[in-house]
Structure 1
């Protein structure tokens, strides 16, 4: 990431703190509990999941039994080597290319 971008992110945390971004993770299990009774929540439109080989979230989802293919009837997963959780900043050109490919494959 560029120094300007890092400075911008740091300025947001100085102003707003880190509590709000962490609240999603703190409430993670409750979110699943509250939505469990909604029945079949299968996403039926084409979906794409981009991940980096150094991102822990994909492996975490698998470890808790989250089957993204069960949640999405047309899921395309793409992994780039040498990227972590902030894939849009780390591999911006790759991400943009994959988004363009995905949209073209869906007729957009």
Structure 2
């Protein structure tokens, strides 16, 4: 069986003019990937909440003040806390205001 007859050598990631690693170099660097000082990365982990509606007071009371463990209804990462209630997903910034917002 002959494959690639008449075709030139295969090139990885031809769409990136910087070469095959141009789109992957940031993945090898320490820290979050993305534009510097993004609203979704440190030092502003809670800045993205401003565009989300604040959860109703009765929902705020049902949701935990802090998420320390992952469960079927709660979770977290280094930037956000998550909780589910009544079929809705809520998000809060763990290092600042503990107000829940509807995602």
Say which one has the larger Rg: 2
TM-score (norm 2): 0.24
TM-score (norm 1): 0.24
Which structure is richer in relative contact order (CA contacts within 8 A, separation 6 or more)? 1
Q: Which has the higher helix share?
A: 1
